[in-house]
């Protein structure tokens, strides 16, 4: 009888330990959506078709942030306005070509503007886009 109680108790403890086994807490690699929508981006510089680096020219544009929403929304937030009539730019975005490109549709007064860019690089800290005009845009 003691042997049976001991066996049942031991099996119960082993079962409890097996259920409480520490799960692997290492997250897998982030998806492109998670990388793109994970935080605000700031425009750093662009490179024109001739290869010349162009800095953001107006000081009031340096603090603009770009947000890609998980729901497909797109927002360029003009934190400091260059002109009194400046406003935030809204639109939508979506991946194209197996997430190797992005399409951005910007809402402008009375019309929309559509831009497509290939994704050269997308990491936690950097987004590099190349649009159809051959310009690179680096956003951090």
Interval 45-96: pLDDT, tens: 777 777 777 776 577 777 888 999 999 999 998 888 888 767 888 999 999 9
Percent of the chain with pLDDT over 70: 79
The more confidently predicted of residues 16 and 105 is 105
Domains of the chain, by residue range, sit at 27-139
Structure tokens at 71: 């729901």
Tell me the H-state helices in 30-139: 32-37
**Beta strands 41-47; 136-139: pairing state:** antiparallel
CATH 2.40.128.280 is held by the domain 27-139: yes
3-state class of 33 per DSSP?
helix
pLDDT at residue number 56: 63
């Amino acid at each position: 009888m003691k042997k049976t109680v001991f066996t049942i108790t031991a099996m119960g403890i082993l079962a409890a330990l097996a259920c409480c086994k520490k799960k692997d807490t290492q997250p897998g690699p982030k998806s492109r959506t998670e990388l793109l929508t994970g935080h605000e981006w700031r425009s750093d510089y662009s490179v024109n078709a001739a290869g010349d680096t162009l800095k953001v020219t107006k000081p009031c544009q340096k603090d603009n942030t770009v947000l890609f929403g998980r729901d497909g929304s797109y927002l360029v937030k003009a934190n400091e306005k260059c002109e009194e009539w400046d406003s935030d730019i809204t639109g939508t975005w979506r991946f194209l070509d197996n997430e190797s490109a992005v399409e951005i549709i910007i809402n402008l007064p009375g019309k929309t503007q559509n831009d497509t860019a290939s994704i050269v690089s997308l990491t936690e800290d950097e987004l590099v886009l190349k649009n159809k005009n051959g310009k690179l845009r680096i956003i951090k």
